[in-house]
Amino acid sequence: MGMNIENYRTEGFFDEMFSGDSVPREASDLLIKRLEDLSSEEIHFRQQAAEAALYQMGITFAVYGSEAAEEKIFPFDIIPRIVDGADWRPIEDGLKQRVTALNMFIDDIYHDQRILKEKVIPPELILSCAAFRPECVGVDPPNKVWCHISGVDLIRDGKGVFHVLEDNLRSPSGVSYVLENREVLKHTFPRVFGPSKVRPVEDYPNQLLHMLEELAPPMVDEPSVAVLTPGVYNSAYFEHSFLAKQMGVRLVEGRDLITQDGFVYARTTRGFEKIDVIYRRIDDDFLDPLAFRPDSMLGVPGIMESYRQGKVALANAPGCGVADDKAVYAYVPQIIRFYLDQEPIIPNVPTYVCWDDKDRRYVLEHIEELVVKAVNESGGYGMIIGPHATASERASFVEKIKANPRNYIGQPVLSLSRAPIIAGDRIEGRHVDLRPYILFGKDIYVLPGGLTRVALKKGSLVVNSSQGGGSKDTWVVDR
Amino acid sequence: MRRAMISRVADSVYWMSRYIERAENVARFVDVNQYLTLDLQVDEELQWNPMLEVSGDRAAFEAQYGGSDQESVIRFLAFDSQNPNSILSSLRSARDNARSVREVISSEAWRQINKMYHMVRSAADSGKVFEDPHSFLDEVKEGCHQVTGVTEATMSHDEAWHFLRLGRMLERADKTSRLLDVKYFLLLPSMDYVGTPYDKIQWAAVLKSASALEMYRKTYRRIDPKQIGRFLIFDNQFPRSIRFCLEAASISLHAISGSPLSTFDNKAERRLGRLCADIDFSDIEEVSQTGMHQYLDGIQIKLNRVGDAIFETYFSLAPAIVDGALHRGDS
């Protein structure tokens, strides 16, 4: 007896894999048929095998407060989320359009500030942005690219229309899960994977290395590239190590590096060796105690000066967070029109910027129906979902907004699309989002698919792993 | 030219390997000893006390456990996370180090270490081990051998691999010397045993503790304390004899610096070279004259000084010497 999908209900949500109750979309047909062939015991066995593989690979996080130093894997559901290749094209085009415009915006902000002079965006909004770095004014990063790696969060609404939710231009994480999930799923569904014509993701590390090498200062023949991590206690450490290994480059910590005569050197067993390009996974704030936070133990004193002199390349460029502020996000459609003279291909989620008097009034009056977020936070922190919050939580956000309006935005609660997960001996729909990864070098590369995050708790809209979210492999399939 | 390693990474690779070797040695010692208790009708405490001497943790043990019955000692040596030399602590340290160098070791090596750590951790939670210590200890030993095998077969024999072997060989030399030292003095519960069948069983156990019984028999056939000393210190073919370990460590040390075996490029090579020469130019007769304990004690002190020199030479390139040394490796 195979898995029964007869009782699968979309319950009025847009479903990624079913066009109606128990009716698979064309791109998902093969996989759903396979699920029907497998007994629920077999499916559970495969789920367990996949989890065991992830556990043995050590893709785990420590459960704090547990005496025995218990470790868990990030929850993972073996049913892939399938995206029709035809639906993927506009996403790819839209993402390229978006990062192109955002890079032009960042470069403009640190040079002529044309967009501010022409009053497309209020100058006070930008200059008050915590991630705006006066130290970066006038800097010319290689190829005029500031944001080399981004992970734009997309959600799909009740009608199936994709929207950008966040841009994540600083240190987006999660791409290692995309690659590892794929590795595991090939073992889980070998007979579906082959004929499904899934676009490969395995090229990402090559693309990343290639892009990083392009950044090397001129005259450097064989650039020495390193990934800079805050260290083993960082929650994304696995990813830092994974990417370094996949690219065959060094993984370094701040304490491994020094600067001398403007160059950056690593301490090695054979003395000091020059480093030309650094993929840094440390926030601007902690990057250089001489330039930013003086108490940072993670950074490299003097590295900003080396960067300004063009003796080392940094990805992403310091200062690029200015375009990642959630209040600035609200203006991305205007940014795209201003620099590219095009209409945005992927729309924004409607956003109320509390800095603006009219918007703020609206947010305060409708707080019980809105999502309110702090402009500089991520990972599900510094936010409330109005309809799910208690009266006192809402009241505390009202106070926070009044005290510091620049720091908050409001957005309507969206009805996120759903995708099926294994729930006991059946499949059930859960809400998902999608984070594709974009590399911006001399060309733009969009990783086909990306990380699908899923709110495993029934009815939940929060997909963050810190709050009960899990992940799925994402298949972009060509038919 | 091949890329040099980040000093911090080389340090972690070296310690990862030492901790794996340490775990394997503790597992073997405990296994042999609990097997021995089956043959010898002696007081449990007398049988287990030497074990605690080998690992140098007797004081810590007594403060915490009091009496040295078998279950307490096994718990202490296998699972006690307060005991830095327990199997669990060693594997945790090995794994922490491995995790910080995953980009350098092979995925297979990492997976093996990770798997083994989880195996020991869940064994610590279940009481089953005390019913059948042998199966568990065997699994640890095999797991550790697999790490060595996997690194041998899946990693380039480059600088990282030589740091692995250097760590393993120095740790092994140290453990063999301790084993011999402690057993020589404390093995026999009483002089009454000398020359009895129990005496033979005990000496065979010393060899087993170093996985050496079979290879020893191939060379000397009869159990003889003096020949056992000769075999475990001087044999140049047995992979756990002190001499063999130090020669292998020396080869790796020279492979790391690139200097020929007969020359010395740094303090670590000089100290290890001198220790190897000491052993080359002495024999078991001399050891007997000096006294086994004094001789082994001397080796342990020199081994520690080799470790210090490796740290200074490779792991601790401090910013203080930046100005003078900065361009040394920059080519």
B115 touches A: beta carbon within 8 Å = yes
Q: How many CB atoms lie within 10 A of CB B289?
A: 10
Report DSSP letters for B254-323, one per residue. HHHHT--TTS--SHHHHHHHHHHHHHHT--HHHHHHH-HHHHHHHHHHHHHHHHHHHIIIII---GGGHH
- The answer to whether the CB of B114 falls within 8 A of the CB of B21 is no
**Does residue A61 belong to the interface with chain B, where contact is any CB pair within 8 Å?**
no
Q: For residue range B182-217, list pLDDT tens digits in order.
A: 766 655 445 455 566 667 777 888 888 888 888 998
B321 Cβ under 8 Å from any chain A Cβ? no
The rounded mean pLDDT for chain B is 86
Mean pLDDT of A226-233: 93
Report whether pLDDT(A242) > 60: yes
Q: CA angle at residue A258 from A253 to A264, to 5 degrees?
A: 95
Of A315, A347, A354, which is closest to residue A332 (Cα–Cα)?
A: A347
The answer to whether A385 and A413 are in contact (CB under 8 A) is yes
Q: CA–CA separation, B157 vs A88, rounded Å?
A: 45
| Cβ separation B325–A68 shorter than 8 A | no
Residue B232 confidence (pLDDT) above 50: yes
Interchain CB contact of B5 with A (< 8 Å): yes
Q: Please give the Cα distance from A61 to A52 (Å, whole number).
A: 14
> Residue A357 — left, alpha, or beta (φ > 0 → left; ψ -120 to 50 → alpha)?
alpha
CATH class of this structure's domain A218-311: alpha beta
Instruction: Give which of B5, B103, B266 to mutate to test A binding, by max A Cβ within 10 Å.
Output: B103
- What's the average model confidence in pLDDT over A114-135? 92
Chain A contact present for B2, CB below 8 A? no
Query: In chain A, what percentage of residues exceed pLDDT 90?
Result: 76
Contact B104, B115 (CB under 8 A): no
pLDDT, residue A100, reads 98
Choose among B96, B104, B326: nearest Cβ to A272.
B326
pLDDT tens string A352-384: 999 999 999 999 999 999 999 998 777 667 888
Separation of alpha carbons A175 and A248, rounded Å: 17
Separation between Cα atoms, residue A311 and residue A324, nearest integer Å: 26
Retrieve residue A78's tokens: 């073996």
Residue A456 has phi, psi (to 5 degrees) of -70, -25
Angle in degrees, CA A343, A158, A348, rounded to 5 = 30
Separation of alpha carbons B211 and B232, rounded Å: 11
Using a CB–CB cutoff of 8 Å, tell me whether B114 touches chain A.
yes
State yes or no: pLDDT of B141 exceeds 90. Answer: yes
Q: Which of B103, B114, B125 sits opposite A245 (nearest CB)?
A: B103
A122-126, A214-218, B33-37, B60-64: range with lowest mean pLDDT = B33-37
Interface contact A57, partner B, CB < 8 A? yes
Over range A19-30, report the average pLDDT.
93
Fold classification of A352-412 (topology level):
Dna Ligase; domain 1 (3.30.1490)
CB contact under 8 A, B3 and A273: yes
CA angle A471, A248, A49 (to 5 degrees): 35
A45 at the B interface (CB within 8 A)?
A: no
Interval A10-28 mean pLDDT: 94
Please determine, for residue A414, whether its predicted confidence score (pLDDT) is greater than 90.
Answer: no
Give me the residue label for tokens 């105690």: A289
3-state class (DSSP) for residue B227: helix
- Measured N-to-C along each axis, helices B44-55 and B7-39 cross at an angle, to the nearest 10 degrees, of 170
Q: Please answer yes or no on whether B327 and A271 come within 8 Å at the CB atom.
A: yes
Q: How confident is the model at residue B32 (pLDDT cuts 50, 70, 90)?
A: confident
Q: Where are the domains of chain A?
A: 218-311, 352-412
Smallest CA–CA separation between B4 and chain A, in Å?
A: 6
- What's the rounded Cα separation, in Å, for the pair B72 and B77? 9
Nearest-CA residue of chain B relative to A227?
Answer: B103
CB-side exposure of B255: number of CA atoms within 13 Å? 16
**Between chains, do B102 and A256 touch, taking CB under 8 Å as contact?**
no
* ipTM metric: 0.82
Do B163 and B14 contact (CB within 8 A), yes or no? yes
Residue B41 and residue A381: Cα distance in Å, rounded? 65
What is the residue-wise DSSP string for B98-165? HHTTTTTS-HHHHHHHHHHHHHHHHHHHSGGGGT-HHHHHHHHHHHHHHHHHHHHHHS-SSHHHHHHH
The count of CB pairs under 8 A between chains A and B is 94
Q: State pLDDT tens for residues B264-298.
A: 889 999 999 999 999 999 999 998 888 888 899 99
Q: How confident is the model over A152-182, as pLDDT tens digits? A: 999 999 999 999 999 999 999 999 999 999 9
User: Within an 8 Å CB–CB cutoff, is residue A55 touching chain B?
Assistant: yes
Task: Supply B150's token pair.
Answer: 């996997």
CA distance A18 to A25: 5
Provide the pLDDT for residue B163: 97
Cα–Cα distance between A252 and A301 in angstroms, integer? 15
Give the H or E element holding residue B39: helix B7-39
Cβ of A267 under 8 Å from any chain B Cβ? yes
What does pTM read for this prediction? 0.89
Residue B1 has pLDDT above 60, yes or no: no
Chain B residues in contact with A244 by the CB 8 A cut-off are 103
Model confidence at A72: pLDDT above 80: no
Amino acid at A384: I
